[in-house]
Amino acid sequence: MKTRHGLRYPFETPPAFGTTQEIAPGLLWLRLPLPMALDHVNAYALDDGDGWTLVDPGIDSKACRAALQQALDGPLSGKPVTRVIVTHYHPDHIGLAGWLQTRGAELWTTRTSWLFARMLCLDEQALPVPETVDFWRAAGMDPVLLEFRATERPFNFADCVHPLPLGFRNMAEGDVIRAGGRNWRVRIGHGHAPDHATLWSEDDGLILGGDQLLPSISANLGVYATEPMADPVAEWLESCRAFQPYATEDQLVLPGHKSPFYGLPLRLRQMIENHEGALERLRARLAERPHTATECFPVLFKREIGMAEYGLALVEAVAHLNHLYLRGEIGRENREGVWYWAPV
């Protein structure tokens, strides 16, 4: 068992794409490929006797679908996928849910996740809408980059999420779901995605954490033009604190990315301290002079931000600024469409 960052990892290596690894009786770990720097997402298969429940079946890409099909034809063969549980609406978690529905599976997720995913699949855009361009400008995006992004096809859910047929089963706070021979208590988190479901086994201390409970990376907390004054940082911190009374050292967390781990009480503290530290650095930077959101990258992330991470960094910088603004700690001034933030 490896120990890193105070957390314990019982599995030395992850399963290869298209294969599975047993986590516990009736529960298998799959890893599916993603076409991005974070090159994988974890899925989990729960044995329900006459079929499988599959949790977070990955993105709708050729490589991901091929890996999932390999698992369906191999270690999961002999029984159909009868249910898909999706922890939250992001494409790398819900992308192939609709495809599995067309093959007979029932979709279970939170109502907010289903509505967001279905709405975004239908909202296909050839170019960014004016509100998005204005939002990027207001955050301080470099004018050259802004001009380029305003004239190229943006990311669309329809490009990597299979159409979702009508019909799903809602999961709400406090529900108990039977899957894989266990009773799972649904606990809802927020911040990374609204109404993100986590499932806590009441039988043997397993937790299906999605992106709400990740071991060694930080879930993105982003603000977008759809809700420009959102405060996902406050929602995230509140969720972490709400989970703390239920967290114990002997629980094995099965996250959406990276490897299963022990040490949830420590990890929840780390996740809180990570953002509290970022906010403190941000306060110090803004005390020097007014800054745009993009000018805050160095103090928030403490590393060089490349083009691959630029979009996620921008929405997370706005999220942290919004948090301080909505707490009354800072104000902002609009200069030719760009917001400059400073202490009040």
H-type helices in the chain, by residue range? 62-73, 91-94, 97-102, 111-122, 130-138, 143-150, 232-243, 264-288, 297-301, 307-326
Structure tokens at 331: 């104000």
Give me the domains of the chain, ranges plus CATH numbers. Answer: 2-138+155-284 (3.60.15.10)
Q: Show the 3-state SS of 260-279.
A: CEECHHHHHHHHHHHHHHHH
What percent helix, strand, coil does the chain show, rounded to 5? 35, 25, 40
Nearest to 83 by CA among 33, 45, 133: 45
- The pLDDT tens digits along the chain (344 residues) read 787 779 999 998 999 999 999 999 999 999 999 999 899 999 999 999 999 999 999 999 999 999 999 999 999 998 999 999 999 999 999 999 999 999 999 999 999 999 999 999 999 999 999 999 999 999 999 999 999 999 999 999 999 999 999 999 999 999 999 999 999 999 999 999 999 999 999 999 999 999 999 999 999 999 999 999 999 999 999 999 999 999 999 999 999 999 999 999 999 999 999 999 999 999 999 999 999 999 999 999 988 898 889 999 999 999 999 999 999 999 999 999 999 999 99
Residue that is written with structure tokens 């990892």 in the block: 9
**Cross-strand bridge partners of residue 83:** 53, 106
Q: Output the pTM of the full model.
A: 0.96
Torsion of CA 54, 58, 59, 61, to 10 degrees: -90
> Do 310 and 325 touch, CB atoms closer than 8 A?
no
> Do 312 and 36 touch, CB atoms closer than 8 A?
no
Residue that is written with structure tokens 């298998």 in the block: 28
pLDDT digits (tens, 9 = 90+) for 295-326: 999 999 988 898 889 999 999 999 999 999 99
Give Cα 74 to chain centroid, integer Å. Answer: 28
Q: From CA 335, how far away is CA 8, in angstroms rounded?
A: 49
